[in-house]
Amino acid sequence: MKMKRVFPILALLTAVLLSFALYEALVAAPTEQTMGNVQRIFYYHVPSAWTAFLLFFINFVCSIQYLVRPNPVADKLTNWTVLAIGIAACIAAFVIRPLPEGIEPSSVATTGLAITGLYFLIKKCFSQPRTDALAVVTAEVGVVFCTIVLVTGPLWARPVWGIWWTWDVRLTSTLVLWLIYISYLMLRRFSTSGQTPVLAAALAVFGALDVPLVYFSIWIFRTQHPQPVIGGGGSIDPRMLHVLLINWLAFLCFAALVCWSRYRLEILQREVEETQALEALLEPRSSP
Amino acid sequence: MNFLYAAYTATWIIHITYLGTLVRRYQRLSREIEELKKK
Amino acid sequence: MSKSSAIPSGVTGATLAKDLRLEWRSKDALNSMLFFSLLVVVVFSFSFDPNAEESRQIAGGLVWVAFLFAAVVALNQTWARELRNHVLDAYRVSPAPANSLFLAKVLGNFIFVAVLEILMTPLFIMFYKLRALGPAWQLIAVAALGTWALVVNGTFFAAISLRTRSREIMLPLLLFPVSIPALLAMVNATTAILTGELSAKFWIVLLTTYDVVFTIACLMLFELVLNAE
């Protein structure tokens, strides 16, 4: 099978990329003025966060598709909605003036198109039951990356700001996202229903609705009680941006490989369980 | 500085632990497949 | 179909009336919940014994944590009774829309938890010597919206947890993360009203948004959950 040969090659390439990215982060990147070397945690913290969010977003798309596809009306409606989001994002990017600070029109348009593209890509490549398998995979790997974000965050905050944790927007939203997906994984593990995928998909939808609300509520909270902002915005040195993007690319490749392995494991496991179920059905007949 | 190394080490420990669980699950699955094949 | 449009309020009302009647007749759930609420208030009062000034700062959080625990205990046993008598299977088979059942359950739970809160509040006021420095009537809005937020999601997740092992622990595991923005809003609104320092308006708007969003989500997805076997 072609897959078997491709995987080790990709794994090797990813390992090389990760090592290179590590070198860039630790050695080649310029030292930050105020924070010193500790700032280099940034190169692992931020890519992990972006990867986790991407994975959770894919999980959300899969959950929606799993719920919506069996019903042709809902399916069509969702298709059109997703298409509308993409088009609206493109229009909004160039029509809305002025944009909130730090956001470029091109990134708004790209994000909108990416959402639409991702939705239809997943729809094309994965049948409905496999969408569920992908959902499990992205949830698990997403939780792994999210854990890393929550561990590296405080490790960065402590030497720089003197505190392990603060209820700022980003950290709290990430924590809630992490909690929601842990509860998602627990539901999957503890559910005895035959329709676990449906229940889990419903939970994922709830989680997705929740996160913007969390973000907004903490944002209000922060404007009422100003607190330190971890990893504040503002412009970034282009050399640092370069290293950041390299690390992100490396971690994306790594995440893709991990997801691929986990996905194959999941599909294999489902096949085994089906076979075992069939065996159990056929056995009683053979025994006296 | 120690925090920097701690963060990077923690990242890889978490990743490797997860990969370890995947390997263990795959081994268990292979054993089950062997048993099924025998039947 | 005229039948389905005429039925919903009828079914909701009937189910709600049935639940309330059952509760009133048996009274065992009600009694145990009452005692539980009293215990919670007393234990919290032992743990935190602040003076009047401090208590206004922290009472918001304490009160809502206490209400949260009481709500979880109440929610856990609402579906249990249905399960015991295989009522759920009857609902699945009947032509009544799933949403009516859901609304009835939510309303029943809401009344139940509201009664608990009404009973616990005077105790809290007494133990913590509470007095609202801000507009006190807003507290009622916060309480109503907050309770609805907990109860609507709680009933939904209780239905999901029905088919899990460790059913009782599954409900809080699912409910708490999703409820965090609502809890934040409830606690901060209460604190704002008690201390009178800030306006609770934003929080009330946030709570209302949360309630609307999740009530719609629950209504849309409940049918799937009910039929999941």
Q: Domain spans of chain B?
A: 1-39
Q: Average the pLDDT over A36-41 and give the result.
A: 79
pLDDT of residue A223: 66
**Chain B contacts of A269, Cβ < 8 Å?**
25, 29
Tokens coding A123:
């729809």
- CB of C188 less than 8 A from some CB of A: yes
Beta bridge partners of A191: C164
Cross-strand partners of A32: A36
Q: What is the DSSP letter of A37?
A: G
Residue to substitute from B5, B15, B24, B30, interface A, most A β-carbons within 10 A: B15
Q: Which of A144, A147, A155 minimises the CB distance to B3?
A: A155
Tell me the average pLDDT of chain C: 80
Q: Is A74 inside a domain boundary?
A: no
Indicate if the pLDDT at residue A2 is higher than 60.
no
Distance CA C101, CA C133 (A): 41
CA–CA separation, C71 vs C172, rounded Å? 10
Q: What is the arithmetic mean of pLDDT over A20-26?
A: 82
Q: What does A209-232 look like in DSSP terms, one character per residue?
A: HHHHHHHHHHHHHHHHS--PPTT-
A191 CA: distance to closest CA in chain C (Å): 4
Work out the pLDDT band at A136, boundaries 50, 70, 90.
very high
Q: Which residues are CB-contacts of A285 (< 8 A; sequence separation ≥ 6)? A: none
CB atoms within 10 A of CB A265: 17
| Virtual torsion, Cα B27, B28, B32, B35, nearest 10 deg | 70
- The alpha carbon torsion through C120, C127, C186, C158 (nearest 10 deg) reads -40
Kindly report whether the global pTM for this prediction surpasses the value 0.80: yes
Question: Beta-carbon neighbour count of residue A80 at 10 Å?
Answer: 10
Domain boundaries, chain C: 2-227
Any chains having at least 3 CB pairs less than 8 A from chain C are A
Task: Give the chain C residue whose CA is nearest to the CA of A202.
Answer: C221
Q: Which of A167, A169, A162 is nearest to A49 (CA)?
A: A169
Name which of A147, A132, A144, A258 is nearest A191 in CA terms: A132
Task: Output b/e per residue, C70-106; b: 16+ Cβ within 10 A.
Answer: bbbbbbbebbeebeeeeebeebeeeebbbbbbbbbbb
Is pLDDT larger for residue A87 or for residue A1? A87
Tell me whether C205 touches chain A (CB under 8 Å). no
Asked, for residue A92, whether it belongs to a domain, the answer is no
B13/A contact by beta carbon, under 8 A? no
With cut-offs at 50, 70 and 90, classify the pLDDT of residue C6: very low
As a whole number, mean pLDDT of residues A62-87 equals: 88
Is residue A141 situated within a structural domain? yes
Whether the CB-CB separation of C206 and C185 falls below 8 Å is answered with: yes
Q: Please give the ipTM for the structure prediction.
A: 0.91
State how far the Cα of A232 lies from the Cα of A237, in Å rounded to an integer: 14
Q: Is A102 a member of any domain? A: no
Q: What is the pLDDT of residue C4?
A: 41
Q: What would the mean pLDDT of C16-33 be, rounded to a whole number?
A: 70
Would you state the structure tokens that stand for residue A251, as one six-digit string?
């971690």
Q: Would the CB atoms of C206 and A195 count as touching at under 8 Å?
A: no
Range of the domain at A152: 2-68+128-227+238-270
Residue B27 has pLDDT above 90, yes or no: yes
What's the CA gap between A221 and A211, in Å, rounded? Answer: 15
| Six-digit token string for A77 | 């409606």
The CB density around residue A200, as the number of other CB atoms within 10 Å, is 24
What band does B14 get if pLDDT is binned at 50, 70 and 90? Answer: very high
Structural domain count, chain A: 1
| Confidence check: pLDDT of A140 > 90 | yes
Query: What integer pLDDT is reported at residue A135 of this predicted model?
Result: 93
Query: Do the chains contact at B7 and A45, CB–CB below 8 Å?
Result: yes
Does the beta-carbon distance from A158 to B3 stay under 8 Å? yes
Contact C165 A183 (CB under 8 A): no
* pLDDT of A38 strictly over 70: yes
Task: Establish if A132 belongs to a structural domain.
Answer: yes
Chain A residues with beta carbon closer than 8 angstroms to that of C214: 206, 209
Q: Using alpha carbons, select from C84, C148, C164, C64 the residue that is nearest to residue C114.
A: C148
Q: Which residue of C has its CA nearest to A184?
A: C174
Q: Output the CA torsion sign for A205, A208, A212, A217.
A: positive
Residue A273 contacts B where some CB pair is shorter than 8 Å: no
Please indicate if any CB of chain C lies within 8 Å of the CB of A211: no
Q: For residues C52-74, give the mean pLDDT.
A: 81
Contact A176, C180 (CB under 8 A): yes
The residue among B2, B4, B17 with the most chain A CBs within 10 A of its CB, best to mutate, is B4
Residue of higher predicted confidence among A138 and A71: A138
Contacts of B33 in chain A (CB under 8 A): 272
- Which residue stretches of chain C are H helix? 2-26, 28-47, 52-84, 87-93, 98-128, 137-161, 167-195, 201-227
